[in-house]
A and B are shown apart, each in its own frame.
Chain A
Amino acid sequence: MFFLSNLVNGLSLGSIYAIIALGYTMVYGIAKMLNFAHGDVIMVGAYVSFCAFQYWGLPPVVSILAAMVFCTVLGVVIEGTAYRPLRQATSLAVLITAIGMSYLLQNLALLIFKSDPKNYPAQIIGMPGISLFGGQLKISGVTLVTILANVVIMVLLTLFINRTKLGKAMRCVSEDRGAAELMGISVNRTISLTFAIGSALAAIAGVLLCSAYPIFDPYTGSMPGIKAFTAAVFGGIGSIPGAMVGGLLLGIIEILSRAYISTQLADAIVFAVLIVVLLVKPTGLLGKQIREKV
């Protein structure tokens, strides 16, 4: 039962990583850049939903929606102002800009909300938990919502990418920007859309993360951000199912190492597993080796 309860917790944490990893992997796949500010958008999402609920007294669902809208706009603005002018620049320049953007967001949050941690209200996801096996296995409402949200997001996103015109346009841009443009697809608009989706997902991840681990501050996004990035690489960066698998595995490995091996070593173990996977399969678990046919 101890194992089962840890497994459920791992799934829940893994679901959060998976939702964040989606943002990394989509932006990487389509814009070919690593958006290291993505983790901090999570933090912004947490603060916006917190303010909406706590200070402005909005209902929970509206608070979450407000966070999503805010982060969507933020993501599009970040892409348009910071990354778009660098579309032709070297990837190193873009990477450094992304790191700079990450610090900018953290420091803006510090300026506005100060550095002391806040307590995330449990009422935002006010779902009662359930208990199974005569009370031996308790699953909290947040855990249930998190796992469910992950499944719903995955299904919707997969349908969107594979079935809709805009989703197909995203796949085209991801494969061949020049050819996509020749089809009449606006590359800039497609990349904006990718940032919009990724950032909306980051807002959801922020709400879920802070509901599960309620103490948060302006640095809250960075560690989960890095772990989710790891998850994306682990699963094969650029691949949506890869982000899902990578995120879930990473969450489960982290929680199980914490439970059975050592709390201090848990992060080290997570990253060691990543290194081993990359040694064996450099493109990640589900990553594809792209071969060019000449």
Chain B
Amino acid sequence: MSEANQKSPLLKVNDIHVYYGAIHAIKGISLEVYDNEIVTLIGANGAGKSTTLNTIVGLLRPRQGTVELNGMNINGISASKMVSRGLSLCPEGRRIFQQMTVRENLEMGAYSRPAAEIAESLEEMFQRFPRLKEREKQIGGTLSGGEQQMLTMARALMSRPRLLMLDEPSMGLAPILVEQIFEIIKELHESGVTILLVEQNAQMALQVADRAYVMETGLITMQGRASELLHNDAVQKAYLGS
């Protein structure tokens, strides 16, 4: 994005290295997300995509390198303090609170916000996800996979994040639901939410994203405009199966 490049990025990941014990999982990756963009991080299983997100949000600590949000170094800040700084992660595998109602799940999403503001955001979520309104009093664990995914996203949005990070939102969903989820991602983007999307479904991800990074075994091997990567031979061969 030429116009975006002139601004400073909302999120800047600078040459981070992450280890699980002796295993060198992330070997120095850098990426940037600008305001109002959808950036996607694609790659095979085990490439380090989720590790990257977990490091950004503070669940993991990089041994080297920095993560900057809005020009501020956020290394070493605990995950529980990231929400109030505007970072929200929808974790892989949904991770909704199974024993709480849909409404309670949403309320927990707004944990860091003053109680007075919650009602308004709840209303907003119920408008965006009418399905959740129908299920308001139901226990989270009884929702279908697609509904749970909607709930995770709505829960993350309840904190009014500046940057929403989605980790494999399409995982394990039927094709029709995958389309629905990507439809929602597009809508969110149109309403001004900045999104960092991690996906194995490269086809879909590249179609909604502005820019993309391709990860392989802890490194970024390619990057560029999503529309270009979508037609790139190497990407097509490796991830799009054609």
Contacts and interface: CB of A to CB of B under 8 A. Distances in A.
Given A178-B91, A182-B88, A293-B148, A171 B97 contact: yes
Contacts of B95: 176, 178-179, 182
Nearest to B98: A175
A184 B59 contact: no
B74 interface: no
Nearest to B90: A182
A262 interface: no
B107 A182 contact: no
Interface in B76-98: 78-84, 88-89, 91, 93, 95-98
B216 interface: no
Contacts of A294: 93, 172
Contact of B111 (A175, A184, A290): A184
Contacts of A293: 98, 141, 145, 148
A175 B172 CA distance: 22
Nearest to A171: B100
A186 interface: yes
A186 B80 contact: yes
A245 interface: no
A179 B59 CA distance: 10
B83 A183 contact: yes
A183 B145 contact: no
B32 interface: no
Contacts of B81: 184
Nearest to A290: B98
A187 B98 contact: no
A168 B91 contact: no
B82 to A, nearest CB: 8
A163 B82 CA distance: 25
Contact of B83 (A165, A184, A187, A290): A184
In this complex, the member of A180, A181, A186 whose beta carbon has the largest number of chain B beta carbons within 10 angstroms is A181
A200 B115 CA distance: 28
Contacts of A184: 80-84, 111-112, 159
A180 B155 CA distance: 12
Interface in A114-170: 165, 168-169
A212 interface: no
A185 interface: yes
A168 B108 contact: yes
B109 interface: yes
Given A179-B91, A182-B57, 6 more contacts: A176-B97, A182-B59, A183-B109, A184-B83, A186-B78, A293-B148
29 contacts: A165-B111, A169-B111, A171-B97, A171-B99, A172-B108, A175-B99, A175-B100, A178-B59, A179-B96, A180-B80, A182-B57, A182-B59, A182-B82, A182-B83, A182-B88, A182-B91, A183-B109, A183-B112, A183-B159, A184-B81, A184-B84, A184-B111, A184-B159, A185-B108, A185-B111, A187-B80, A291-B141, A293-B145, A294-B172
Interface of B: 57, 59, 78-84, 88-89, 91, 93, 95-100, 104, 107-109, 111-112, 115, 141, 145, 148, 155-156, 159, 172
Listed from nearest, the 6 A-B pairs whose CB atoms lie closest are A184-B112, A184-B83, A179-B95, A181-B79, A183-B111, A186-B80
